[in-house]
Amino acid sequence: MKKNWWKIIAAVLVLYTIIAGFLLNVPAQPILHETIRNLYFHVPMWFGMMTILFVSLWHSIKYLRNSDIQSDIIASQAAHTGMLLGILGIITGSLWARYTWGAWWVPDIKLNGAAITLLIYLAYFILRGSLEEEQKRARISAVYNIFAYVMLIVFLMILPRLNDSLHPGNGGNPGFNKYDLDSTMRMVFYPAVAGWILLGVWLMTIKIRIEKLKRKTLIND
Amino acid sequence: MALFNQIKFLIGKEIRLEMRNRYALGGILLYVISTVFVSYLSFKKIVNPATWNALFWIILLFASINGVAKSFISETRGRLLYLYTLASPQAVILSKIIYNSLLLLVISGLCLFVYALFVGNIIQDLPLFLVTLLLGSFGFSSLLTMVSAIASKTSNNFTLMAILSFPIMMPLLMVLLKLSKNAIDGLELWDTSYLLVLMFINVIIIALSYLLFRYLWRD
């Protein structure tokens, strides 16, 4: 129980976000109206994804330094979990886009960035799938993971600053801070971010354990 | 400077190898010419800047992938082993990047010439377009060389080369498209922020290749 306190916090925080997110008052904004509640789900999912992909990057670097297969397992399973959060983020974003911009998908730098993120990590999984030998797979996919993450940062952090975008926070659109002047939203949003990140980490630890067990049974067979 | 000498020697080796089987280089150049000719037959003249730009970069992208793919994939195991005993990994990757940049400069120069000849030249600011093309060739070459090193370790390497390189090339490609569109439109001011980002991306890719290649090259 002592080790699991953060899992309880994660569950409580996410539950709190769902209940409070749908029940508490939100500021009335033009165009957004009630869809502003999606802020509690869409944005924390992306934050969670970036955090977990960073864990993946960190363990890829660690693998290259110490050649410990444990780091490779963590890196790959973190990428899987990050992908799951990314897909959830893209679905919630698409829903939000439908009700504010009128289409499921609009040509926009931020949305393209999201799609590219998914493509990069799908390519990473295909690369892993096409290498047989364990150590070689770990080493080469670690190199690709580091390479890809840096290019992703360029895409997600630098290019949107140069382009106009419909997405909040770009091209003269009001950013998150302007809606956030309302302190009730802040009361839900910050716990939501923490909750989704913790939930992502929890999922990741479960996936890591499953993967380790799988490899163990493979060796024993 | 040992590294510098090694790089110089390895580039010389690449050029000599290329000259020994010229048909490989000829094949790539012919690929560019025939692709441009196919697009000429289907489009005749293109006057819409966006279409012109997109088609040009797509042709160049595929030609570059084909041109660079062979840099590691076609190296025989024995030759690689021999190379490892002679040079440092940094020298190997840097020399390949420099050599491929030269190759891509030839390819992109030819591509621009043939494309402008057949499909029509609508570029208004040629210097900016050439600078974009130059920086684009460097970027393509460093990224694709590294990806080709990764892909050469797998069994189905040509497919993987495309799959692995497309998503990570997108940031580079978007900046290139934007800059060359500006050059075609002939805007008065050069957009220095995009040029800086393009140089920045180039530097990042080369730095990463320099740091990461030593984990790739030995089996």
CB pairs under 8 A between A and B: 74
Cβ pair B124, B79 in contact under 8 A: no
- Widest pairwise Cα distance in chain B: 54
Q: How far is B194 from chain A (nearest CA, A)?
A: 8
Q: What is the pLDDT of residue B56?
A: 93
Residues A78-108 pLDDT 10s: 999 999 999 999 999 888 888 888 888 887 7
Instruction: Report, as an integer, the average pLDDT of A171-179.
Output: 53
Q: What is the pLDDT of residue B84?
A: 79
- Please report, for chain A, the start and end positions of each structural domain, with discontinuous segments joined by +: 37-220
Contacts of A146 in chain B (CB under 8 A): 208, 212
| Residue among B155, B167, B171 minimizing CB distance to A123 | B167
Q: What is the pLDDT of residue B178?
A: 87
SS3 state of residue A116: helix
State chain A's mean pLDDT as an integer: 84
Residues of B with CB under 8 A from a CB of A: 146, 150, 153-156, 160, 163-164, 166-168, 170-171, 174-175, 193-194, 197, 200-201, 204-205, 208, 212, 215-216, 219
Between chains, do B170 and A146 touch, taking CB under 8 Å as contact?
Answer: no
Q: From B167, which residue of chain A is nearest by alpha-carbon distance?
A: A120
Q: What is the pLDDT of residue B194?
A: 85
Instruction: Find the angle CA(B1)-CA(B2)-CA(B6) to the nearest 5 degrees.
Output: 120
Contacts of A152 in chain B (CB under 8 A): 168
Task: Of B128, B68, B131, give the one whose Cα is nearest residue B101.
Answer: B68
Between chains, do A158 and B197 touch, taking CB under 8 Å as contact?
Answer: yes
Cβ pair A179, A49 in contact under 8 A: no
Q: How many residues does chain A have?
A: 221
Q: What is the pLDDT of residue B54?
A: 92
Residues A35-55 pLDDT 10s: 778 888 888 898 899 999 999
- ipTM, interface predicted TM-score of the complex: 0.86
Q: How far is A119 from chain B (nearest CA, A)?
A: 6
Q: Token pair of B128, please? A: 């900016």
pTM (predicted TM-score): 0.87
> Residue A30: what are its φ and ψ, rounded to 5°?
-65, 155
Cβ pair A127, B160 in contact under 8 A: yes
Lowest mean pLDDT among A3-12, A61-70, B62-71, B74-83: B74-83
Between chains, do A146 and B194 touch, taking CB under 8 Å as contact?
Answer: no
Q: What is the pLDDT of residue B100?
A: 93
| Residue A161 clears pLDDT 80, i.e. is over it | no
- Widest pairwise Cα distance in chain A: 62
Residues A98-146 pLDDT 10s: 888 888 888 777 788 888 889 999 999 999 999 888 888 999 999 999 9
Q: How many helices (H) and strands (E) are present in chain B, helices listed first?
A: 8, 0
Q: What is the pLDDT of residue A141?
A: 92
Q: From B151, which residue of chain A is nearest by alpha-carbon distance?
A: A127
| Residue A165 clears pLDDT 70, i.e. is over it | no
The rounded distance, in Å, linking the Cα atoms of B76 and B35 is 29
Q: From A141, which residue of chain B is nearest by alpha-carbon distance?
A: B150
Task: Of B61, B90, B75, give the one whose Cα is nearest residue B151.
Answer: B75
Contacts of B200 in chain A (CB under 8 A): 158
| pLDDT (tens place) for every residue of chain B, 219 residues total | 688 888 888 898 888 888 888 888 888 899 999 999 999 999 888 888 889 999 999 999 999 998 888 888 777 778 878 887 888 888 889 999 999 999 999 999 999 999 999 998 888 888 899 999 999 999 999 999 999 988 888 877 788 888 899 888 888 898 899 889 888 888 767 778 888 888 998 999 999 999 998 888 776
Between chains, do A127 and B216 touch, taking CB under 8 Å as contact?
Answer: no
Q: How many residues does chain B have?
A: 219
The rounded distance, in Å, linking the Cα atoms of B163 and A197 is 30
Residues A181-215 pLDDT 10s: 567 777 888 888 899 999 999 999 999 999 999 88
| Selected residue with higher pLDDT from B131 and A32 | B131
The rounded distance, in Å, linking the Cα atoms of B197 and B194 is 5
- Please report, for chain B, the start and end positions of each structural domain, with discontinuous segments joined by +: 2-216
Cβ pair B184, B129 in contact under 8 A: yes
Q: How far is A117 from chain B (nearest CA, A)?
A: 8
- Taking the CA atoms of residue A103, residue A104, residue A108 and residue A110 in that order, the dihedral angle to the nearest 10 degrees is 140
Between chains, do B171 and A131 touch, taking CB under 8 Å as contact?
Answer: no
User: Which residues, at least 6 apart from A45, have a Cβ–Cβ distance to it below 8 Å?
Assistant: A85, A86, A88, A89, A92, A196
Q: Does A61 touch chain B (CB under 8 A)?
A: no
Q: What is the pLDDT of residue A182?
A: 66
Residue type, A66: N
Cβ pair B177, B54 in contact under 8 A: yes
Q: What is the pLDDT of residue B140?
A: 93
Between chains, do B164 and A144 touch, taking CB under 8 Å as contact?
Answer: yes
Give DSSP secondary structure letters for B116-157: HHHH----S-HHHHHHHHHHHHHHHHHHHHHHHHHHTTSSSH
Q: Does A119 touch chain B (CB under 8 A)?
A: yes
SS3 state of residue A108: coil
The rounded distance, in Å, linking the Cα atoms of B70 and B66 is 7
Lowest mean pLDDT among A14-28, A95-109, A161-175, B154-168: A161-175
| Residue among A64, A116, A130 minimizing CB distance to B154 | A130
Q: From A67, which residue of chain B is nearest by alpha-carbon distance?
A: B215
Cβ pair B60, B108 in contact under 8 A: yes
